[in-house]
Every structure is written in C-alpha cells, then in structure tokens.
Structure 1
Amino acid sequence: MKAFGFLSFGHHAIGGQQGPDARQTLHDALAIAQAADEIGVNNASFRVHHFAPQASAPMPLLGAIAGSTRNIEVGTGVIDLRYENPLYLAEEAAALDLLADGRVALGVSRGSPEPADKGWEAFGYSGSEDNASDMARKKFEAFLAAIDGYGVAKAAPAEKQYPRMYRSGTPLPVFPHSPKLRKNIFWGSGTNASAQQAARDGVNLMSSTLVSEADGRSLGEVQAEQIAAYRAAWKDAGHDWTPRVSVSRSIFPIVTERDRQLFGPTATNEDQIGSLGEGRNVTFGRSYAAEPDVLIEQLRADPAIAAADTLLLTIPNQMGVDVNVSILQNFAEHVAPALGWQPNTEGKVTGYES
C-alpha cells in the first residue's frame, strides 16, 4: 500500500432529520480534505448519488478542494455515467485536472441501484436495458475519445462559423485538453469481467465497496482475484504505463477512549452478504475497529489491500470534521506506516505518474 485516502458518501439530513444539512456537509468535506492534506493523506474522494440526500454533483467540491490544498488528490468513487453528458464531463474533468496540476483520480462507472426508477431518464437520457449499462458503456467510450483529444464533431461550413477557425468538415475535439488525464481515470468495478474490460480500455481500477460474487469468500479474496485478472488483462493489452488499483474499507483505529466508545461497537468479524434489489446477492466488506497493532495484523491479512496500491477509508461524514480528521490522523500515525504508506508531500501519489 503506497497511498491512502478517504471516501465520503456525503450523507446529509433533510426534512427536519437530525444531522448536518447539505450546506454543512459540503463545508465539512472541504475542511476534512484541507486537514487531510496537512497530514499527508494522498486522496480525497466522494461518492456520487442522485435522488438521495448524499453527495451528487462533485466538480464544485473537487475544485474547491484542489484550489485550497497543495498535494492531495481529488476524486470520485464513482460518477454514474448514466446521468452524464460524456463530452461535457470530459470538458469538466480536463479543466479540473489542469487546475489541480494533475491531482485528479476520477472514478466513473455504471453506478449502483438508487431510489429513482430509471432516474437518468429524468436527466434526459435513456438506455435499452433496465439498468442502462449499455448506455453507460457507450458514454464511457465517448468520454475516453473526448479526453484523448479525438474529434467528436465536425466543423460547420466556413460561412456559418463564428469565429472562422476551421475548414468545413474538420473533426473537432472538445476543449480544454489535459494530455495526462487518461492516466487519472479509474473504472469502478464489481466483477472480474468489468475489471478486465477496464484493463483493455487502459484505465486504472477502483475495486468497488462491494462485489457481485457472494460465494462464501471474503471481500478481500474476491477482490484479490479481480485485481489479478485486471493486471493480467493489462499486460495482455500491452499498455506502456503502470496502472493504479484502489480498494475501500471501513477502518477505525482505536487510540483513545472516545474512539472506543464511538467505533468499538461497529466492529464486525466477517464480511456481510446482502442484496441491492437487482435480484442478486453481493458481498459487503466488514468494519474494522481495533487498537492499531490489531488493525495492522488484520489489514495485512487482507489480500486485496496487499494487492492494491491505494486504500480509501470510508468515513462517517455525518460525525463532523473533528471526528473524521482524528480517524485519518490516527490511521496515518499508528497504522499506515506499517502497511508501507508513503505520505503525499509532492502533489502526487508517491511512486506514480501524475
């Protein structure tokens, strides 16, 4: 494990519920990321969900973080492509990458089940499958073509152009263009097949917080197999650079009595099998909460953490800035060094190209 970061779902309260509202949640996210940057944490990532009181449009927050920090990466885990205009997303992603000087780790994917029935249709998009995975795939291909600088439209006849810049019919790319952006894109994968496709596509791998297999193996065992399949497919594809692989876990180091009271009861001894409502069972990761020496041994025994280069801690953002910063500080001081962590002090994940 060369790097660690945090992954926030951005939960907020609505309708008189207790907890931080959307405004407070966004300001807390910014403050947590700024503190994490000072600690040397490598990555600040956010989930993207629609029609739910959680984080949704990520670019304003990522831009605010990038503009107020020096070294930390900003990212998503993941942007649901079913809801996106791929060319506009390419423009936004390139602009963010340029503003952040390459400090981007943008996760995209088909997305997960949600409250809305085909909610992407309300956003103006439609797919031929119930879960619109075919549409997400087409959008991903268009997104990759756009960030790679290929022409995605044709120039109008000269007399219709303003300003007149191109010969009629010239292929036109979207702008701005960030040449290194492709190496900062991750595909969020929950299966071996999608991981292998990500390798063929030439993007990094973000192994999901849950996996589609529910065969009795641990999340770490299933993900380790997925990572091995990804790297084998990457080698077969002949790409000329080394990709990154991230996994996510709920981890709470118990250093103080407050930590014990807050997180001790959340510890589980094994992963959970559950359903996402799509007619299939999935494997969810366990929650780790223990003293640092115990945590180190538990995490060393997780084959996916051993195989990945980046570990994202899923944080309880509703508990506010102080609690979440203490989780990151405790992990950085008492756990991460034993796992091979390299603090981020140079504006990129140590050992990898930006």
Structure 2
Amino acid sequence: MRAFGFLSFGHYGGSPAQGGITARQMLHDAIDIGVGADELGVNGAYFRVHHYARQSASPMPLLSAVAARTQRIEVGTGVIDMRYENPLYLAEEAAALDLIADGRVALGISRGAPEAAERGWESFGYTGSSDPRGADIALSKFDVFLKAIQGHPMTRAAAQPYMSDARPHAPLAIEPQSEELIRHIWWGAGSRATAERTGQMGLNLMSSTLLTEATGAAFGDLQAEQIDVFRESFKAAGHTHAPRVSVSRSVFPIVTEQDRRIFGMRPGEDSDQIGIIDGTRSTFGRSYTGEPDQLIEQLKADAAVQSADTLLLTIPSQAGVDLNLHILQSFAEHVAPALGWKPSTEGPVQGDPVA
C-alpha cells in the first residue's frame, strides 16, 4: 500500500436535533475534511455519487472546491454513474477539473450501482436501454467519453464558425483538453469480467466495495484474484504505462477510550457478508476495528489490500469534521506506515510498472 485516502458517501438529512445534517453542511464538511486530510499527508479525497438520494450527486463543484483549497491531495469519485451522464459534458467538466487540480484527479466511473429511482436515468433523458440495469447505455456513453477526452472529433464546424478560428466544416473536438486526463480515469469493477475489460481498455481499476460472486472464499482473496485478472489483461492488451488499483475498506483504529466507545465492534461486522444485489449473490467486505497492532496484522493478511497500491477508507461523513480527521490521523500515525505508506508530499502516487 503506497497511498491511502478517504471515501465519503456524502449522506445528509434527518433531524438536526438528532445529529442530522443539511446538504449545505455535508458539502462544507467534505471540503474541510479534504483540507484537513491534505495537511495530514493523506493521498486522496474521494466521493460516492448517487441520484435521487440524500447523498452527493453532482461531484464536479465539490471536487473543484477541494482541489482549489489543497496542494497535494488527489480528488476523485467512487463512482460516477455513467447511465445518468451526458458524455461530452462530462468530458468538458473532467478536463477542466484536471486542469484546475494540476492533474490531481482520480475519476472513478462505472455503469453504476442500484439507485433509489426505478430506471432513474430515463428521467434525465437517457432512454433506449434494453438492459433493465442500463448497462448498455452506460458502456456506449463511456466509449464516447473516452474518445472525447482523447481529442477525437465529436462534430464539425459550421459553414461560418462563429467566434472560432476553426475552418468551415472542420472536425471539432471538445474543449478544454487535458492531455494526461486519460491516465486519471478509473473504472469501478465488481466482477472479474469487468476487471478484464478494464485492463483491456488500459484504465485504472477501482475495485468495488462488493463483488458479484460468492464462492465461500474471503472477500480479500476474491478481490485479489480480480486484481490479478485486471493486471494480466492490461499486460496482454499491450499497454505500457503504469496502471493503478484501489480497494475500499472500513477501518477504525482504537487509540483512545472515546474510540472504543464510538467504534466498539458490533456483531457481524468482523466478517464478510453475503447478500443479493441486482439479483446476484454477492460478497461484501468486512469492517476492521481494533487497536493498531491488531489492524496492521489483519490488513497485512488481506490479500487485496496487499495487492493494491491505494486503499480508500470509508468514513462516517455525517459524524463531522473533527471525528473523521481523527480517524484519518489515527490511521496515518499508527497503522499506515507499517503497511508501506508514506505521507503525500508531491501529489498523487504513480502506478506500478507493467512487468
């Protein structure tokens, strides 16, 4: 593990008297956590994206705000649901964000997890899917997005281009362009087949918080096998740059009595969980809670954590800025160094060389 960051689900809502927060507070807290994490040397600030729910839905304003107030930390998503996106508009936004952040971007994208709305992407104007999960339109739009951020022409100039130096009818690419943006795109994968396709495309792999298989093997072992499939596919496709791989875990170091009161293990959280998602029997990863020495040994035994270069810590974002920064600081001081981590000093880590 060479890098770690936090992954916020961006929840808000509920009664303020009972600890609920507003959307405004959630967003401001997210920015403050990002700033504090940057000061601690944490490598990344990542945010989940969900629609029709009281969670983060439009990530670009938030990521731009965090990037503008920080110096080194990577800003990203885990993940953007491509079913709901206009691929060309997303390409423009992503390029602008990459330029604002000076390349400190890790944009996780996928066909999306189950959402609160029934075929909610259709209400955004994206119809025509023959797949009940909308995977077909997500993949076709992602293909357009990839072409756009690599400067491929998306349309032609008018016969008399207005306020442009383009030749009449000349091919036009979206603007702005960020040459390195393609290296900052991650695909969220929950299966081996998706991991294989991600490697073929030459993207980074953001392994999901769940895997759509349940063989009885430990979540970390299943995920490590998925990572191996990705790397083998990446190499076989002939890509020569260095890819990156991230995994997510809930990790709560117990370093104070307050930690023990707040994070004391609840029944069932110390083992993997099996459940049904999208009609598929799936494996969900466990939570890690304990004193630093215990966590170090457990995470060293987690095959996927050892295989990935980046670990995303899921945080209880509704709990406020101070508690979340305490969690990150405790992990940075008492756990992460033993796993090979060093504080961020010059921006995001680079990927592992292709063998």
| Bin of the TM-score, shorter chain as denominator length | over 0.9
Flag structure 2 segments of 5+ consecutive residues without an equivalent: none
Deviation at 1:168, TM superposition (A): 3.2
- Return 5+ residue gaps in structure 1 as ranges: none
| Residue of structure 2 equivalent to 1:150 | 152
User: C-alpha offsets along residues 5-38 of structure 1, whole Å, 9 cap, x if unaligned?
Assistant: 0000000014777411111111111111100000
1:15–1:262 CA distance, 2 compared to 1 (3 A): closer
Please give the alpha-carbon distance, in whole angstroms, between the structure 2 residues aligned to 1:352 and 1:326. 30
Aligned to 1:124: 125
Aligned to 1:269: 270
Give the structure 2 partner of residue 12 of structure 1.
Answer: 12
Question: Residue by residue, what CA displacement relative to the aligned partner does 1:307-332 show, whole Å, maximum 9, x if unpaired?
Answer: 10000000000111111000000000
Deviation at 1:264, TM superposition (A): 1.3
Question: What are the equivalent positions in structure 2 for 1:38-117 lying under 5 Å apart?
Answer: 38-117=39-118
Alpha-carbon offset, residue 265 of structure 1: 2.5
> Would the aligned equivalents of 1:3 and 1:350 in 2 still touch at CA under 8 Å?
no
- The aligned counterpart of 1:180 is 180
- Paired with 1:96 and 1:283, the residues of 2 have a C-alpha distance of 34
Q: Is the alpha carbon distance of 1:172 and 1:14 closer, same or farther for their aligned partners in structure 2, counting shifts above 3 Å?
A: farther
Summarize the Cα distance change of 1:249–1:219 in structure 2 as closer, same or farther, 3 Å threshold.
same
| Aligned-partner Cα distance in 1 for 2:5–2:19 | 27
Q: Give distance in 2, aligned partners of 1:162 and 1:123.
A: 30
Match of 1:137 among 133, 136, 139: 139
User: Whole-Å Cα distance in 1 between the matches of residues 110 and 15 of structure 2?
Assistant: 30
- Structure 2: how far apart are the matches of 1:121 and 1:52? 16
Give the aligned partner of residue 306 of structure 2. 306
What is the number of residues matched between the two proteins? Answer: 350
Specify the SS of the correspondent of 1:246: strand
Per-residue displacement from partner, 1:71-121 (whole Å, max 9, x unpaired)? 000000000000000000000000000010000000000000011000001
Query: TM-score if structure 2 supplies the norm length?
Result: 0.96
Secondary structure class of the residue paired with 1:274 = strand
Separation (CA, whole Å) in 2 of partners of 1:98 and 1:182: 13
- Percent identical across equivalent pairs? 60
What is aligned with 1:165?
165
TM-score by length of 1: 0.96
Give the aligned partner of residue 189 of structure 1: 189
Q: What is the rounded CA distance, in whole Å, between the counterparts of 2:284 and 2:200 in structure 1?
A: 27
